[in-house]
Structure 1
Amino acid sequence: MMNRTILVGRLTKDPLLRKTNNGVSVATFTLAVNRTFTNQQGERETDYINCVVWRRAAENVANFLKKGSLAGVDGQIQTRTYEDQHGRRVYVVEVVAESVQFLEPRINSTKNQHENPPEERGGYQEDTPRYNTNNTSNYDDPFANEGTPIDIDDGDLPF
């Protein structure tokens, strides 16, 4: 039997990081994924898929992704049920991520970090240093794209 899911989409809001009673990190977020076809009005519909990620990957997601970030999720679909406060059975379908790939440069995904402090982005406290995201470095980045086409001779390619 096989249960494998691969998704690429944008986060609908900042991830929520929590800790279990045993101190294990768990982050939840919703990924907006466009369907590959259009409806009768010619518009693409979007599915909103709940995702869960555990341990160190959960901390990375909470630290480096935010609302609007483009992410790839590789995991499994999981279903569970529970009773709400009114005694009704609630069914939940979610993707338990084994890995989450950050699909945008860090500069784009952390542009507004100082406007939204960590406590407003899911209640966690960061313990990892932030990278310098301003463009005032002491060296010229030979791989920086300045918006001009790159001229590469076919003889320079290794394949």
Structure 2
Amino acid sequence: MNKVIIVGYLTRDPEVRYTQTGKAVATFSVAVNTGYGENKRADFIPVVVWDKLAEVCGNNLTKGRRVLVEGRLQIRDYEKDGQKRRAADVVAQNIEFLDSKQQPSASEKKDPSDPTQFGTEVFPEEEIPF
């Protein structure tokens, strides 16, 4: 079984290209925090997305967005400057956007200690459905 699940932040906007046969492919990397305390660091994981999901990512994701990527690990060989090299990518099969497209500004953020703000975002303009 080959399954990878990562959660992190996009380090750059997705780059969408099309193959000669018209298939969309998007590439981006995700910064994933590991460790804690003095050992805390970030790993930068390259992600490849194909077809319709690639177009959705290109249209909706931007640098700094938080995402969950589910897919498989792919190891590829290539040659650079006469040297054989290997690289690992996550080929995404599912992507979940974990934050909103636009983050609220500091003046728009709600104060969690204010009891009048509790529950105001649950059903903004609807009645409770029960």
TM class, shorter-length: 0.7 to 0.9
1:124-135 mapped onto 2 (5 Å cutoff): none
With structure 1 as the length reference, what TM-score do the two structures score?
Answer: 0.65
CA offset digits 1:83-133 (Å, max 9, x no partner): 12x221121101000011111112339x9xxxxxxxxxxxxxxxxxxxxxx
Q: Which residue of structure 2 aligns with residue 27 of structure 1? A: 26
From 38, 51, 61, give the equivalent of 2:36. Answer: 38
1:63-78 mapped onto 2 (5 Å cutoff): 63-78=59-74
Q: Which residue of structure 2 aligns with residue 102 of structure 1? A: 97
The CA RMSD measured in Å over matched residues stands at 2.4
Q: Which residue of structure 1 aligns with residue 51 of structure 2? A: 55
- Which residues of structure 2 form unaligned runs of 5+? 112-116, 121-127
Task: Give the SS at the match of 2:102.
Answer: helix
CA offset digits 1:28-75 (Å, max 9, x no partner): 00000011x325xx3521110000000000001111001101111000
1:82 offset after TM fit, Å?
A: 1.3
Equivalent pairs: percent with the same residue?
Answer: 37
Question: Do the aligned residues in 1 keep the contact of 2:65 with 2:101 (CA within 8 Å)?
Answer: no
From 88, 92, 103, give the equivalent of 1:93. Answer: 88
Q: Runs ≥4 in structure 1, deviation > 3 angstroms?
A: none
Q: Which residue of structure 2 aligns with residue 18 of structure 1? A: 17
Structure with more of its chain in strand, by fraction = 2
1:114-129 mapped onto 2 (5 Å cutoff): none
Task: Give the SS at the match of 1:106.
Answer: coil
Q: How many equivalent pairs are there?
A: 114
Task: Give the SS at the match of 1:107.
Answer: coil
